[in-house]
Chains A and B, each alone.
Chain A
Amino acid sequence: MGTTKKTYWKGLEQLKNDPAYIKNADKEFVNLGAEEDPGHSRRDFLKMMGFSVAAVSLAACETPIRKAIPYVNKPVDVDPGIPNYYASTYINGGDYCSIVVKTREGRPIKIEGNSLSSVSKGGTSVPVEASVLSLYDNYRLRGVRIGDKSESWETLDKEVIAKLGEIAAKGGQIRIVSNTILSPSTLAVIEKFKAKYPTAQHVQYDQVSYYGMMKANEASFGTAFIPSYDFSKANVIVSFGADFLGTWLSPIEFARQYAATRHLDEDHREMSRHYQFEANLSLTGANADYRTPVRPSQSGLAVAQLYNLIAAKAGKGMVSGGLEGVANLDKAAEDLWANRGNSLVVSRSNNKSVQILINGINDMLGNYGSTILPNMPVNYRKGNDEAMSSFVSDAEGGKIDGVIFYNCNPVYDHPMGEKIAAAVKNMTLSVATNYTEDETGSAVTYKAPDHHYLESWNDAEPKKNFYSLSQPAITPIFKSRQAQESFMVWAGETNVDYFNYVKENWKNWFYAKSGGTMDFQSWWDKCLYDGVLEPGVADGTSMSFAGDVAAAASAVAARYKADNKGFELVVYESCGVGNGSQANNPLLQELPDPITKVVWDHPITISQRDAAAAGFTNDGESNTHYGALTVGGKTMNVPVLIQPGQMPGTIGIALGYGRTKVGKVAENLGINAYPFLTFSDGSIGLSTFEGVSLVKTETPFQLAQTQTHQTYMGRESVIQESVLSEFKKNPAAGREFPKITKWDEKVDPSTLSLWKGHDYKDHHWGMAIDLNSCTGCGACIVACNVENNVAIVGKDEVIRRREMHWMRIDRYYSSDGKHGDYEAMEKASENPEVVFQPMLCQHCNNAPCETVCPVAATTHSTEGLNQMTYNRCIGTRYCANNCPYKVRRFNWFKYHDNQQFYQSNPAMNTDLGRMVLNPEVTVRSRGVMEKCSFCVQRIQTGKLNAKKERRPMKDGEVITACQASCMTGAILFGDMNDENSAITKLLKIEKDPKRPYGIDKKIGNPRAYRVLEEIGVKPNIFYLTKIRNKEEAKGEA
């Protein structure tokens, strides 16, 4: 199709037509050399056959006896085969999500969002979805350990209390170190402990610090806090490096708000405009309308410049140090000023002065009270960098006698981790409550493992006056103990019960204030059932901005430089592994990074210009070289990935890797980037401006990257996009309307068919995916993996293109250059536009896979599903070869009960891991094809529930796992036969009066299109066009 206006490419190798890429681009199954030469002879074959015959006949002689063991005393609420759901709360440090846990026979098997929470609003994220597998982590501590010996809780308590007493007697110092604690009851427990041991102090720190922001708010408004943000009210969003859709502060909340501003239809033709100024291409940057690469050393000056541009309009005084010439900044200022009160400026910087300027800008724009809500402070990040630094220096100086690490791992994830590890060795008492023996756990003497959050009672206050409860969804698997109970025991209490303690607290704190008519028990039961309690926020006193912007600007001008020439290092959190606390979770490791599409690896990203200068190349098989990265005098070898969109002169490196004590999955994968974080101006910053260099080494390295897998053989109408100005004129802007040439005329492909088509009398399942709402985060992929028992295959198999994900998110870059102007296209790739497209089985009505299966293992259902029957499949792979969307995945191995995949796929290879498997879905074996089933198990359950209640089905009763996980609501699944369903309304479906239940329904939404419409396979998945809020489209012909 030559009509596309843009050129899309999935990676540099595709754009450059790299020979290695071309060789395999159009192949579904790639032969990557003789890595599997079996060396078997005819004799082996005969031996194997003889053995098989004998085995089969032996097996046939006697059927194994299978036992059925009922409960002795069946719990009233548990019925084998019927799932139970419990509202709870995901808490990992300061990360928060209100969740619903699905359990089967007392085992949590899936996490879904809790729509009753007005904070997370039913959304989940990648780490939340994956956390259910962390519960079954083989590396978890089985019980108490003292030194290297397993001991009992009694022994540990006796020794810890004795030592605490000893320290208290001589007046020694005790510290409790933790990440941000969201739980008011936990904080109360720590207060109890401090009351018993008055020398004890509580130090909170965060892996990625927001301390500079809090200090800026203290300087601006008088109290150190972080406000709530409401992106849904913002017409213009300017972000300086804040990845608020991926990792910044509360991405689940922000992504939903952000997506709300980007919904478009014929009646609503307005959307927000988003500017991003950043060094490495982040998920948020990839979604921005205007993205400008900026060196970190200049970002502070760019903020000052924006301040001046706004101040000029507001008639306020200018500040020093503004940097001219940052692209799009003037335009951003115009838009911000035009949308005063409905705009938002945020920054990732942890520099107090930069944040004061940001506050000043927002104040001038009148955003406080509308998009920024200081009366609703959030508790996600409360870490105090200065307190943590003084803890480290005190510990080093031998001033601290006892330390308790409460579920935190500073030895790994604090820049001064090594010093902490060394200092802890000399202390009288060192305790860690971490549930694995991680880097900190190995450094301390007493390991007092806490429960996993899915085994715990707890509460949380993510925002002021928004409360949330955690309840156990499983009996503790190991001999762990709730850390809060440990604290109470060590504080000298007996008969501790943290559940009762939380309950009493809620009674005293909230029940009394609720003023309701319910008795306490009913009120408590309701809180537990809902999972959240939101009494509402009283309007706080209005705050007035009192920051000293002039002083801040001069501090910025002193720190930031307009003309830095050397390399700069940008440390970031990736969307999957994040801060590394769940690094041992293979679901996260095998999730392709939304931008780089790298799995199981930790490369640094550099720009094409720097790569050319230093001699780095990446080929189509992701072969690269190690680079010697020197930061602050320390040199490490890291693989290098060339990343379009990276600001030249900068190097991006993700946190969360390089863990040394974490378990088999992630041990020694990559390098630890935490030591690269630097302490400046009283807080820990994320970038290094000086002393960074990169030299190519000759050691080759092959990354596992999924981006080039499953391409479309040059058919580029899969992405249909336009800009808002065009959309306003014509809601069908950006659409392609392919025509098929007949002998006499050109016709719409849907009118030509070899087949008679199907009639779906009952349901007609379909899906709509809004490319404007999809941020590309990947939560749907993890949700799909967990729901459908998708095997994790490990790095080697991904390199052989054998990843099993049923769903992938295709990330396309598009060029600036005009179509056919190859020189312009080459240039454009330095800062490309990005489109994300979730790709899964399209459930074609004229499915090409069905017609080629020789054994009818893939067939069509009367409800529009393309069914895959594993027990019938003989593995010819014809279907995958014939699939235009390349969404069928073949089981090259038996991934379960197979020693080879023991490390990468514990969910199918260990007794502990297997508890996470969904009993409703078959675990596939070697040699069969598999693919997205539209969560047919959920459809069947929904239908059965309706039948049992003798009623028709309700819309929304069945949602697929991907839709349930999507925090922006980009995915919508439903019955297209149901006139009142959400999907019918979104797509504006009109039935064909001649054939009301046929497949050819008239789609009235001008944005909706089917991918590869011209081949006439008529999928049941519709995509809505991507619309950017730009003045004019890039690459317009």
Chain B
Amino acid sequence: MMKRSISRFFTRVVPALIVLFSSFSLQAQDIPTDPAVISAGEALFNGNCKTCHRVKQKLVGPALAGVETRVPSVKWIFDWVRNPAKVIASGDEYANKIYTEYNKSQMTAFSNYKDEQILSILAYINAEASKVEAAPAPVAGAAAGGGSSVPSTYLDTILIGMVIILILLVIILALIVNALRKFLNQRELSSEEAEVVNSPITIGSVSRSPGFTFLVIFIVGVVAFKSVIDGLYSIGVQKEYQPKQPIAFSHKIHAGQYEIECKYCHTGAMKGKQANIPSPNICMNCHTQIKQGTTTGTGEIAKIYAAVGFDPDTQLYSGVTKPIEWVRIHNLPDLAYFNHSQHVNVAGVTCQTCHGPVEQMDVVKQYSLLTMGWCIDCHRKTDVNTKGNAYYDKLVELHNSKKAMKVEDIGGLECAKCHY
């Protein structure tokens, strides 16, 4: 008897308590305000939600500010996030309302999200929503391209100064010539000498003089030599290379306007050598629903559908696929090894440092030189990102210098770091 009551306690009362407790906590709308939770929520939001949602702005999906007050309950959000189709199918009134409001485009399911993860996203949304609109910060300028150069204002000043000095020199020389001629004319000269002294300086006389000929040849020679050398150095350097791509994909719209995180599509940047050009199935995460572009209409998006074999009307895949042949912009020679994860993951370098303001480019171009000098220059100037990385602990300890530890100091200029 005792046994049975205990088991009844466990089978009935405990779940009831759990439900009571959890519903209590949810009804209290106990959305955390802990900064750590908010930052965790921010990472999740940027990585997964931001492609379709903004906090204060309607995008593919509704603006999320104050969402927990609009929807029936916080628990409803949990269900919805994990399986929106099920919520719609259950005949839930609110769910069906927004489903029809957003042209029957259904949200992606995030079935493996835990309650606390969803709560952290809500925490982030609340924190964002309560922020006063700050003036938009200008996009951080990317680090200057290669080559060390004197700041241009100095250069201008120096040049102007030199020109003034030269002009003054010419004037002084002209005055000296005049004075000398006067002086000579005051003396008795033979007619031949007088002719020489008084011969006017004309363009013809100057251009025929051997000094002038030499000067011209010298300048032409130097310029030609310089341009040949520059030309040779530029072989294979494709800075500003901006080829036409098979699909007029605009980073300005996706990364700029919609602020989709770079690594959402370029999945390899944190993991491995290649950042990866996204496979069209990543495009289809959004473009199963977004069938029309803001500037190109259906034309360009239809090319994705052709590649993956998708029929936007029936929402079915035919199974016939055709890979998209993008034109490669950044071409390193085979002899150079470059690994994205070393730079993006370990060093924490932003994408824009090397690729420039991609979020402002309609058509992507090569922003940096991608020459060895350019690489090395950065390795000389950049501090090693040792914070929180136990790999570098010993090196930091042994780096007994007041200057920060640069990549150069730990072998960043060695041949076999990139060539093997």
* Other-chain contact of A865, B277, B337, B342, B416 (Cβ < 8 Å): B416
Chain A positions within 8 Å of B279 at CB level: 70-74
Chain B positions within 8 Å of A63 at CB level: 236, 238, 241, 331
Chain B positions within 8 Å of A872 at CB level: 415, 419
With both beta carbons as reference points, the residue of chain A lying nearest to B372 in the complex is identified as A871
Decide if A861 touches B420 in the complex (CB within 8 Å). no
Decide if B415 touches A859 in the complex (CB within 8 Å). yes
With both beta carbons as reference points, the residue of chain B lying nearest to A953 in the complex is identified as B391
With known contacts A60-B235, A869-B419, A72–B280 Cβ distance under 8 A: yes
Decide if B274 touches A80 in the complex (CB within 8 Å). yes
Chain A positions within 8 Å of B339 at CB level: 944
> For the complex, is B268 an interface residue (Cβ under 8 Å from A)?
yes
Q: 1/0 per position for B101-112, CB-CB distance to A under 8 A?
A: 000000000000
Chain A positions within 8 Å of B323 at CB level: 69-72
* Other-chain contact of B410, A857, A862, A921, A933 (Cβ < 8 Å): A862
Give the complex CA separation of A937 and B416 in angstroms.
9
Decide if A950 touches B388 in the complex (CB within 8 Å). yes
> For the complex, is A516 an interface residue (Cβ under 8 Å from B)?
no
> For the complex, is B417 an interface residue (Cβ under 8 Å from A)?
yes
Chain B positions within 8 Å of A867 at CB level: 414-416, 419-420
Chain A positions within 8 Å of B395 at CB level: 761-762
Give the complex CA separation of A68 and B277 in angstroms.
8
> For the complex, is B318 an interface residue (Cβ under 8 Å from A)?
no
Give the complex CA separation of A755 and B335 in angstroms.
31
Decide if B277 touches A70 in the complex (CB within 8 Å). yes
* Other-chain contact of A81, B274, B277, B307 (Cβ < 8 Å): B274
| Most-contacted residue by chain A among B238, B308, B391 (CB, 10 A) | B391
| Most-contacted residue by chain A among B323, B326, B398, B419 (CB, 10 A) | B419
Give the complex CA separation of A867 and B274 in angstroms.
24
Q: 1/0 per position for A596-638, CB-CB distance to B under 8 A?
A: 0000000000000000000000000000000000000000000
Give the complex CA separation of A944 and B391 in angstroms.
10
Chain B positions within 8 Å of A933 at CB level: 416, 420
Q: 1/0 per position for A299-313, CB-CB distance to B under 8 A?
A: 000000000000000
Decide if B416 touches A73 in the complex (CB within 8 Å). no
Least distance between A423 CB and chain B CB atoms (Å): 49
Least distance between B182 CB and chain A CB atoms (Å): 59
Chain B positions within 8 Å of A944 at CB level: 339, 341-342, 346
Chain B positions within 8 Å of A80 at CB level: 268, 272-274, 276
Give the complex CA separation of A920 and B334 in angstroms.
10
Decide if B415 touches A869 in the complex (CB within 8 Å). yes
Give the complex CA separation of A862 and B408 in angstroms.
11
Size band of the interface chain A makes with B: 35 or more
Give the complex CA separation of A397 and B383 in angstroms.
84
Decide if B326 touches A761 in the complex (CB within 8 Å). no
| Most-contacted residue by chain A among B241, B243, B308, B420 (CB, 10 A) | B420
Least distance between A147 CB and chain B CB atoms (Å): 36
Decide if A952 touches B390 in the complex (CB within 8 Å). yes
Chain B positions within 8 Å of A74 at CB level: 267, 276, 279, 281-282
> For the complex, is B156 an interface residue (Cβ under 8 Å from A)?
no
With both beta carbons as reference points, the residue of chain B lying nearest to A71 in the complex is identified as B279
Q: 1/0 per position for A845-867, CB-CB distance to B under 8 A?
A: 00000000000010101110101
> For the complex, is B181 an interface residue (Cβ under 8 Å from A)?
no
Chain A positions within 8 Å of B131 at CB level: none
Least distance between B138 CB and chain A CB atoms (Å): 32
With both beta carbons as reference points, the residue of chain A lying nearest to B317 in the complex is identified as A73
Least distance between A861 CB and chain B CB atoms (Å): 5
Decide if A951 touches B390 in the complex (CB within 8 Å). yes
> For the complex, is A883 an interface residue (Cβ under 8 Å from B)?
no
Decide if B272 touches A81 in the complex (CB within 8 Å). yes
Decide if A70 touches B235 in the complex (CB within 8 Å). no
Least distance between B285 CB and chain A CB atoms (Å): 12
With known contacts A72-B307, A79-B267, A944-B339, A950–B391 Cβ distance under 8 A: yes
With known contacts A869-B419, A953-B391, A68–B328 Cβ distance under 8 A: yes
* Other-chain contact of B281, A72, A863, A947 (Cβ < 8 Å): A72
> For the complex, is A82 an interface residue (Cβ under 8 Å from B)?
yes
Decide if A72 touches B334 in the complex (CB within 8 Å). no
Give the complex CA separation of A100 and B155 in angstroms.
62
With known contacts A63-B238, A863-B411, A950-B388, A871–B335 Cβ distance under 8 A: yes
> For the complex, is B327 an interface residue (Cβ under 8 Å from A)?
yes
Decide if A950 touches B389 in the complex (CB within 8 Å). yes
Chain A positions within 8 Å of B331 at CB level: 63, 66
With known contacts A762-B411, A920-B337, A950-B388, A79–B271 Cβ distance under 8 A: yes
> For the complex, is B321 an interface residue (Cβ under 8 Å from A)?
yes
Chain A positions within 8 Å of B392 at CB level: 947
Decide if B280 touches A948 in the complex (CB within 8 Å). no
Total number of B residues with any Cβ neighbor in A under 8 Å: 56
Q: 1/0 per position for A942-970, CB-CB distance to B under 8 A?
A: 01101110111100000000000000000
> For the complex, is B403 an interface residue (Cβ under 8 Å from A)?
no
Least distance between B382 CB and chain A CB atoms (Å): 15
Give the complex CA separation of A863 and B414 in angstroms.
10
> For the complex, is A43 an interface residue (Cβ under 8 Å from B)?
no
Least distance between A960 CB and chain B CB atoms (Å): 13
Chain A positions within 8 Å of B236 at CB level: 63
Give the complex CA separation of A947 and B241 in angstroms.
33
> For the complex, is A169 an interface residue (Cβ under 8 Å from B)?
no
With both beta carbons as reference points, the residue of chain B lying nearest to A66 in the complex is identified as B328
With both beta carbons as reference points, the residue of chain A lying nearest to B339 in the complex is identified as A944
Which A residues between 868 and 913 are near B, CB-CB below 8 angstroms? Answer: 868-872
Chain B positions within 8 Å of A527 at CB level: none
Chain A positions within 8 Å of B391 at CB level: 943, 946-947, 950-953
Which A residues between 72 and 107 are near B, CB-CB below 8 angstroms? Answer: 72-74, 79-82
Least distance between A330 CB and chain B CB atoms (Å): 56
* Other-chain contact of B417, A761, A868, A940, A953 (Cβ < 8 Å): A940
Decide if B390 touches A70 in the complex (CB within 8 Å). no
Which B residues between 216 and 240 are near A, CB-CB below 8 angstroms? Answer: 231, 235-236, 238
Decide if A70 touches B276 in the complex (CB within 8 Å). yes
Decide if B327 touches A65 in the complex (CB within 8 Å). yes
* Other-chain contact of B308, A68, A72, A862 (Cβ < 8 Å): A72
With both beta carbons as reference points, the residue of chain A lying nearest to B243 in the complex is identified as A65
Give the complex CA separation of A870 and B335 in angstroms.
8
Least distance between B383 CB and chain A CB atoms (Å): 15
Decide if A761 touches B272 in the complex (CB within 8 Å). no
> For the complex, is B402 an interface residue (Cβ under 8 Å from A)?
no
With known contacts A63-B236, A81-B273, A951-B391, A861–B327 Cβ distance under 8 A: no
> For the complex, is A67 an interface residue (Cβ under 8 Å from B)?
yes
Decide if B321 touches A861 in the complex (CB within 8 Å). no
With both beta carbons as reference points, the residue of chain A lying nearest to B398 in the complex is identified as A761
* Other-chain contact of B394, A70, A762, A871 (Cβ < 8 Å): A762
> For the complex, is B393 an interface residue (Cβ under 8 Å from A)?
yes
Decide if B327 touches A68 in the complex (CB within 8 Å). yes
Decide if B416 touches A70 in the complex (CB within 8 Å). no
With both beta carbons as reference points, the residue of chain A lying nearest to B393 in the complex is identified as A952
> For the complex, is B324 an interface residue (Cβ under 8 Å from A)?
yes
> For the complex, is B278 an interface residue (Cβ under 8 Å from A)?
yes
Decide if A70 touches B278 in the complex (CB within 8 Å). yes
Give the complex CA separation of A872 and B334 in angstroms.
14
> For the complex, is B192 an interface residue (Cβ under 8 Å from A)?
no
Decide if B420 touches A937 in the complex (CB within 8 Å). yes
Chain B positions within 8 Å of A920 at CB level: 337, 420
Give the complex CA separation of A102 and B243 in angstroms.
36
> For the complex, is A936 an interface residue (Cβ under 8 Å from B)?
yes
| Most-contacted residue by chain A among B272, B322, B326 (CB, 10 A) | B272
Chain A positions within 8 Å of B322 at CB level: 72
Give the complex CA separation of A231 and B411 in angstroms.
47
> Can you report 10 residue pairs joining A to B where beta carbons are below 8 Å apart?
A67-B326, A72-B322, A79-B272, A82-B273, A761-B394, A762-B411, A920-B337, A920-B420, A922-B335, A933-B416
> Apart from A933-B420, A947-B392, what 7 extra A-B contacts exist at CB < 8 Å?
A67-B325, A74-B276, A74-B282, A82-B268, A82-B271, A871-B333, A947-B389
The 3 tightest CB contacts between A and B, nearest first, are: A81-B273, A867-B416, A74-B279
